[in-house]
Amino acid sequence: MRPAGTRNRTFPQRQETILRAACEVFVRDGFHAASMKDICSAAGMSPGSVYRYFASKDDLVRAMIDSDRARWMAAMDALPAGGGLLAALEALAELGLRDLEDRGFLNLWVETAAEAARNPGVAVRLHDSYSSLQARLASLIADAQANGSIASTTDPGTLSCLVMAAFDGLILRATVDPGLDARPLTRGFLDFIGRAIGARTPARGASSAPRASAKKTSGRTRPPGRKARR
C-alpha cells in the first residue's frame, strides 16, 4: 500500500521516505539480497518514482552515509561555544549511545563497512565521511591542547582518529553481543579517553550529558518504527 500523503510530499520528503524504506530492507535482507523492487514496495512508490531520486542501490548506500555524516556534523555544530573538549565528548557520547542501543543502526553499520571493503565507490564516500568528522574533532582537540585543558601533546589528527576508532570498536562489540549494556560501556569509554588524552578534569559521562544537542540532530535515517528517545 502507498503511504498516505506520499503523492503530495516535497522532493526532500520523498528522498527521506525512500531512504527509510531502504534502511528497513537493508536491515532485513542485507545490501546484496535486497532489491530495488523490495525498496520500492517498502516506500509505497513506483519504480519510476524511486529511480528519479536514486538510480541504484549504491546511490542509496552513499546517501545513507551522507545522512549519517550530516547528523554528526550537526551535533558538533550544536555544541556550546567554549564548552571545552570534555563537554563536547560527553554530548557526542550521548548521541553515540543512541546508536549503540539501536539494533537496526548496528546492522546497517556492519553492512556499510563490509560493502566499503568490496565497493570502491562506497569506500570513497565512507572515507570522506570519516575524514570530515575526524577533522572537526581534531579541531576541538587542538583547541583543548592550546588552552591547557588536556595534557596530551600528540598530534590532534592522530588523537581524533584513535577516538573514532575506539568508538567503532564499541559499535562492533555491541553488534555481536545483543545483551551488552551500552550505557556503562559509554561511561567507561569516556573515562578511558579522558585518561588517554590527559584531561585536567573528569568527564561526567553519557548518563549526565545534556541531551539538547542530540535532540537537534535527530534526523538520522532510521529503520521505520524506531523513535528518537526523549
Mean pLDDT for the chain? 82
Question: From CA 186, how far away is CA 131, in angstroms rounded?
Answer: 23
CATH tag, 82-216: 1.10.357.10
Q: What is the pTM of this model?
A: 0.76
Answer whether 85's CB lies under 8 Å from 141's CB.
yes
Answer whether 188's CB lies under 8 Å from 167's CB.
no
Question: What is the pLDDT at residue 225?
Answer: 44
Report domain extents, the chain.
Answer: 82-216
Query: Quick check: 205 pLDDT over 80?
Result: no
Banded pLDDT at 1 (limits 50, 70, 90): very low
Question: From CA 122, how far away is CA 132, in angstroms rounded?
Answer: 16
